[in-house]
Chains A and B, each alone.
Chain A
């Protein structure tokens, strides 16, 4: 899997999450990205972990 696919996958996840949050609650409900940034931290760490493991396997 290349970086392009990884980026597209991450963006698709973010959009899906935003859409799910949008349909599952009242319009004033905060999106997950507003919840203290932990959502963003989880996304960054997960992508970083996947990259580390992929580099390790390709070596």
Chain B
């Protein structure tokens, strides 16, 4: 799955550690999400959506799109 997490995070001026703290996950998890190596669970996707105040489908996209 593709995502715009890095752009959103950098847009807020947050480091990976800042975002990791807000989402209660490790910095490694943020890195894996941003590089597309790991797809989040639905609960984590909802937390990400809440932190950035954007719907999930504006943050994550299927590969073919």
A and B physically associate: no
> Residues of B with Cβ closer than 8 Å to A?
none
> Residues of A with Cβ closer than 8 Å to B?
none
